[in-house]
Structure 1
Amino acid sequence: MGQASSTSEDSASHSPVAKLSREQIVDLFYARCLSLLKPIEIAFIKTKWDIHGNQGETIDSAEIFKWYLSEEQADKATSNLFRTNMSTLLMVMKRIGKFPFLNSPVHADDKLTVREFIISMVFFDGRFKKIFKGDYDFVKLFCIALAAPAPVSGTDDATASAMADDDNDRYAAKLLQPFEADDSKELKSRKVNWTAMDLVRSFDGISVQDLAVNARKLQELLILLLVVKSVPNQKHEVMREKFWANLSKWKEFDAYSLYLLRYLDIQLDAKSLSEQKIKYLQFSDGMASIVPRFLEQNIQRFFEAEIHGASSAARGDDSHHHLTHSSEPMGKVPKFQESKLVNSAFLALASAILEGAKSPIVVSSQNMVKLYAGSESGFSIRSLETKIFKWQAPTMVLVSGKRLKQKAQETNRRYEKFDHSFPRYFLNSENALRPWQHENDRITYCVVINQPWRNSNKNNFGDEKSIILAIQPRADYFKSVSNKAQKGESIYFNTQGMGVGFGNEQPINKGNTQKYHPGRVSLTIEANLEFAVFRHLSSSVNNDPNFFKTSSNSQIANEDYEDRFVITDLEVWGIGSMKELEEQQRQWKWEEQQAQARQSVNIRNMGEERAFLEMVGLVGNRGSGGSV
Structure 2
Amino acid sequence: MGQSLSDEQPRRRSREELIHQLVSLVRCRAAKRNADAAPQALRFKDRCFTSLEFYSLKDVFKGLADQQGSVRYLKEDTVARYLEIPDILGASPVVFQMVSHLGAFPFLQDAPVVLELPQMIMVVVIMTERYRRVLAKGPSDRTKLLFRSMAVYDRKASTAAAASPPLAQTEDIKAAGAAGALAGGFAVDAPTDDDENGDDDDDDLVLTAYELLDITEAVKQDSAPEFYGAMIPTDNFRKLLMLLLLAAPLEGQESLSQYSSRVSGEELDGLRSTASNILAAFVDAETSPGIRYRHFKAVIPVLCPNLFNGFNGLFEHFLFSKNLDFSKHTDGRRALTSRPSPMLAQPLLPDRGEILNDHVLSQVSMFLPGSSLFRRVRRLYSGNHAGFSMGSFESKVFNWRAPTILLVSGTRLGDVPDGGQESSFAESLPTRRFSHGSKSDRLTFGVYIREPWKHTHKECFGDSETVLFQLEPIHDVFPASTINTDYVAFTKPPGNQSCLSFGCPHPKPSKSHRRDGVFSLGAVSLLLNDSFEFGVFNHDFRSRGGAFHTSLTRKRDFQDRFQIERLEVWGCGGDAEAKAQAERWTWEEREAEARRKINLGSGDIETDRALLEMAGLVGANRSGGSMA
Same fold (TM over 0.5): yes
Asked whether the 8 Å contact 2:403–2:450 carries over to 1, the reply is yes
SS at match of 2:431: coil
For the pair 1:516 / 2:508, whether they are aligned, the reply is no
How far did 1:284 drift?
2.4
For the pair 1:299 / 2:317, whether they are aligned, the reply is no
Deviations 1:59-96 (A, max 9, x none): 34333234224xxxx8xx5x432xx1122101211222
1:353 aligned residue: 367
Aligned in 2, Cα 1:446/1:362: closer, same or farther, shift over 3 Å?
Answer: farther
Alpha-carbon distance between aligned partners in 1 of 2:135 and 2:515, rounded to the nearest angstrom: 69
Alpha-carbon distance between aligned partners in 2 of 1:220 and 1:448, rounded to the nearest angstrom: 28
Alpha-carbon distance between aligned partners in 2 of 1:291 and 1:118, rounded to the nearest angstrom: 30
Aligned match for 2:96, one of 90, 96, 100: 90
How far did 1:499 drift?
2.3
SS at match of 1:515: coil
Aligned match for 2:253, one of 236, 257, 263: 236
Asked whether the 8 Å contact 1:22–1:171 carries over to 2, the reply is no
Aligned in 2, Cα 1:309/1:547: closer, same or farther, shift over 3 Å?
Answer: farther
Aligned in 2, Cα 1:62/1:197: closer, same or farther, shift over 3 Å?
Answer: closer
Asked whether the 8 Å contact 2:274–2:363 carries over to 1, the reply is yes
Aligned in 2, Cα 1:59/1:465: closer, same or farther, shift over 3 Å?
Answer: closer
Using structure 2 for the length normalisation, give the TM-score. Answer: 0.69
Asked whether the 8 Å contact 2:102–2:145 carries over to 1, the reply is yes
Aligned match for 1:263, one of 281, 287, 291: 281
Aligned match for 2:79, one of 49, 60, 64: 64
Bigger shift: residues 517-526 or 464-473:
464-473
SS at match of 2:218: helix
1:384 aligned residue: 393
How far did 1:198 drift?
9.4
Alpha-carbon distance between aligned partners in 2 of 1:588 and 1:311, rounded to the nearest angstrom: 52
1:23 aligned residue: 16
SS at match of 1:224: helix
Aligned in 2, Cα 1:565/1:366: closer, same or farther, shift over 3 Å?
Answer: same
How far did 1:547 drift?
2.2
Aligned in 2, Cα 1:193/1:454: closer, same or farther, shift over 3 Å?
Answer: closer
SS at match of 2:417: helix
How far did 1:475 drift?
1.8
Give, as a single letter, the amino acid of the residue that structure 1 aligns with 2:386: S
For the pair 1:147 / 2:151, whether they are aligned, the reply is yes
SS at match of 2:392: helix
Matches within 5 A, 1:306-325: 306-308=318-320, 313=325
Alpha-carbon distance between aligned partners in 2 of 1:65 and 1:536, rounded to the nearest angstrom: 43
Q: Which sections of structure 1, spanning at least 5 residues, go unmatched?
A: 1-7, 164-169, 178-187, 322-331, 356-360, 427-431, 594-628
For the pair 1:219 / 2:238, whether they are aligned, the reply is yes
For the pair 1:505 / 2:517, whether they are aligned, the reply is no
2:373 aligned residue: 364
How far did 1:34 drift?
5.2
Alpha-carbon distance between aligned partners in 1 of 2:401 and 2:214, rounded to the nearest angstrom: 53
Deviations 1:558-608 (A, max 9, x none): x22111111111001111231221244467899999xxxxxxxxxxxxxxx
Q: Which sections of structure 2, spanning at least 5 residues, go unmatched?
A: 29-44, 155-165, 178-197, 327-335, 591-628
Using structure 1 for the length normalisation, give the TM-score. Answer: 0.69
Aligned in 2, Cα 1:498/1:172: closer, same or farther, shift over 3 Å?
Answer: same
Bigger shift: residues 43-52 or 135-144:
43-52
Give, as a single letter, the amino acid of the residue that structure 2 aligns with 1:569: R
How far did 1:46 drift?
4.1
RMSD of aligned residue pairs (Cα, Å): 4.5
SS at match of 1:414: helix
Alpha-carbon distance between aligned partners in 1 of 2:423 and 2:300, rounded to the nearest angstrom: 38
For the pair 1:424 / 2:422, whether they are aligned, the reply is no
SS at match of 2:94: helix
Alpha-carbon distance between aligned partners in 2 of 1:417 and 1:491, rounded to the nearest angstrom: 21
Aligned match for 1:580, one of 559, 574, 577: 577
2:269 aligned residue: 251
Aligned in 2, Cα 1:480/1:205: closer, same or farther, shift over 3 Å?
Answer: closer
1:597 aligned residue: none
Aligned match for 1:415, one of 405, 409, 422: 422
SS at match of 1:564: strand
SS at match of 1:463: coil
Matched residue count: 513
SS at match of 1:209: coil
Alpha-carbon distance between aligned partners in 1 of 2:176 and 2:107, rounded to the nearest angstrom: 12
Aligned match for 1:102, one of 95, 102, 108: 108
Give, as a single letter, the amino acid of the residue that structure 2 aligns with 1:80: I
For the pair 1:565 / 2:562, whether they are aligned, the reply is yes
Give, as a single letter, the amino acid of the residue that structure 2 aligns with 1:252: G
Aligned match for 1:279, one of 268, 286, 292: 292
Give, as a single letter, the amino acid of the residue that structure 2 aligns with 1:348: S
Give, as a single letter, the amino acid of the residue that structure 2 aligns with 1:371: L
1:433 aligned residue: 435
Asked whether the 8 Å contact 2:417–2:426 carries over to 1, the reply is no
Alpha-carbon distance between aligned partners in 2 of 1:216 and 1:333, rounded to the nearest angstrom: 30
Alpha-carbon distance between aligned partners in 2 of 1:240 and 1:87, rounded to the nearest angstrom: 17
SS at match of 2:146: helix
Aligned in 2, Cα 1:292/1:197: closer, same or farther, shift over 3 Å?
Answer: closer
How far did 1:101 drift?
4.0
Deviations 1:498-521 (A, max 9, x none): 221111223367999422122111
Deviations 1:181-226 (A, max 9, x none): xxxxxxx978988868997252434551331111111121121112
Alpha-carbon distance between aligned partners in 2 of 1:433 and 1:255, rounded to the nearest angstrom: 24
For the pair 1:119 / 2:122, whether they are aligned, the reply is yes
